[in-house]
Amino acid sequence: MIKKLTLSVVLLTIFILSQNTANAGYFSDNSHIDDNMGFLKNTMNKNTSTEDVQEPVIAPAPKAKIAKIASKINPVATLTVQASAYTSTPDQTDSSPFITANGEHVYWGGVAANIIDASGRNIPFGTRIMIPKLFGDQIFTVNDRMNRRYKNNVDLWFHNITDAREFGRRTIEIVIIAKN
């Protein structure tokens, strides 16, 4: 009797679980791939030869923000800090590699900074800085933080790992333009 009951429960469980199929494509960022694959199959079936196929054009993604060029510069302070570079890879960031600590999407001109002000606190988000010896009059905006173990450091976001590695880690002079 117990064997029949156990078998019935197992079969019922298998039956119930097999009827529920997951439709994860609905929630996936890549759910459009099936649509694109169908389009590609239809276009390839129209007697096209490989000679008709053109090389794909690779265009850079539009930038979320464009760094402002200094027009009226009112320096508040000049500091010597350590600088490093990072990209949006999980090994260099937290669990949301494209979102900064203040909630913005990463962009060229945004920096992570752990720079301590006179009151012993990090300079606030929105503080504008310049790195004149490296980037001329380009203005960077503090919109992210680094790990607490880094003090008086600036971390510049780069689009790719090659540029970030080329920048490396170095001692630089920054000019603080304005504070929030």
Amino acid at 75: P
What is the reported pTM? 0.54
Q: Which of 87, 122, 129 is nearest to 102 (CA)?
A: 122
- 3-state SS class at 35: helix
Rounded CA-CA distance 160/21 in Å is 39
**Structural domain contains residue 88:** yes
Domain, as residue range, for 131:
77-178
Per-residue pLDDT 10s for the chain (180 aa) are: 888 888 787 776 776 666 554 444 434 344 444 444 444 444 444 444 545 545 544 545 444 444 444 456 788 888 899 999 888 776 666 666 677 777 788 878 888 888 877 777 878 888 898 999 998 989 998 888 877 788 888 988 888 888 888 999 999 999 988 654
Residue 90 belongs to domain with CATH number: 2.40.40.10
Number of domains in the chain: 1
Rounded CA-CA distance 138/127 in Å is 14
Tell me the two tokens of residue 17.
């679980």
